[in-house]
Copies of this chain bind each other. A is one copy, B any other.
């Protein structure tokens, strides 16, 4: 367990590493760069990351995964009206349009190893957390009488996450957000069609 000060130092190292990697790429970033940017010494860095760069990269990948969720707030966390779903939709598309073909998390997961336990855990936890938030939104809408109880919250939230994942993958290969928009909109249209007012 880190002290408050320890946690702050560790966080400063991780965010400095994330910023360096976003700017210069993962291979060009050295531990010296990260120490310089975070204002910490090498021995401090190895105190928090005794296994060195690899361990630090896992922490940065984790941080980037947290940012994916963070960038969708406050909307993702309170999908309690159709207006909120619309704002969330716009936020997601805007975020990935801005990101374009340069996915910081993707680069790090590839570096950590997509099929290593650490890489898989980060991906899985992100997908689970993301889907969980969407699912809570669907259930909240159903409780409020704004969405049909005929919608299967588990399956619909899984479909939404897959639609976003696929749209982003295509965006990263083509540079266009068209598929992302179409997929997200079709899912939302489907949920709206289950809105009691529209039935």
User: In the complex, which range does the number of interface residues on chain A fall in?
Assistant: 20 to 34
B170/A186 in contact, CB under 8 A: no
* Top-4 shortest CB links A-B: A166-B166, A165-B166, A162-B183, A162-B166
| Interface presence of A108 (CB below 8 A) | no
Given A174-B124, A190-B189, is A162 in contact with B163 using a C-beta cutoff of 8 Å? Answer: yes
Asked whether any CB of chain B lies closer than 8 Å to the CB of A178, the reply is yes
Residue pair A127, B174 in contact (C-beta under 8 Å): yes
- From A168, which residue of chain B is reached at the shortest CB distance? B166
| Interchain CA distance A172-B19 in the complex, whole Å | 29
Q: What separation, in Å, do the CA atoms of A162 and B9 have in the docked complex? A: 41
Chain B, Cβ-Cβ closest to A152: B182
A8 at the interface (CB under 8 A from B): no
Report A's interface with B, CB cutoff 8 A: 101, 114-115, 120, 123-124, 127, 155-156, 158-159, 161-170, 173-174, 178-180, 182-183, 185-187, 189-190, 193
Instruction: Work out how many copies of this chain go into the complex.
Output: 2
Contact of A167 among B166, B185, B189 (CB under 8 A): B166
Q: Which residue of B lies closest to A175 (CB)?
A: B120
A163-B183 contact in complex given A120-B173, A158-B178, A174-B124, C-beta closer than 8 Å: yes
Measured in the bound complex, the distance between the Cα atoms of B174 and A115 in whole Å is: 10
